[in-house]
Amino acid sequence: MKKIISTSEAPAAVGSYSQAIRIGNFVFCSGQIPLDPKTGEIVPGDVNAQTRRVMENIAAVLRAEELNFGNIIKTTIFLTNLADFQTVNELYGSYFKSDPPARSTVQVAALPKGANVEIEVIAADDLTGEKSIDTWE
């Protein structure tokens, strides 16, 4: 069953999408851009400030389901300038204490509202592996 996830601690969806969707043990978070949840505006500052806001927005969506960065299994980072990769990578990496998730990073021509970075994540609430399905027969 599909569950819509929404929290006022993260920016409201600005289009026809949900902040996140839960299907079973998985939470699929929509891409977050550096919007201040209170104002709905892009935070001022460089890509470092924008990345920090994005990560805090992701944290808020995950908290709505009692999850955290340790539950993230896959991320995708979208950058308008791949020259920002090192800066974004250092700050992004500081949010993962150990065993970082799988990740893709791509450069894009533009992001909504003129953002420089957008990050989407997939998280799982059961990381024990006890519920895995063996598909090899």
Tell me which of 10-14, 69-73, 100-104, 108-112 is least confident: 10-14
Bridge partner list, 2: 23
Nearest to 105 by CA among 86, 124, 123: 86
Domains and CATH numbers, the chain: 2-124 (3.30.1330.40)
Selected residue with higher pLDDT from 25 and 130: 25
| Residue-wise pLDDT tens digits, 40-57 | 999 999 999 999 999 999
* Predicted pLDDT of residue 134: 44
Provide CB contacts within 8 A for 8, sequence distance 6+: 37
**Quick one: DSSP state of residue 67?**
-
Sheet bearing 26-32, strands edge to edge: 2-5, 20-23, 26-32, 117-124, 72-79, 102-107
* Predicted pLDDT of residue 132: 44
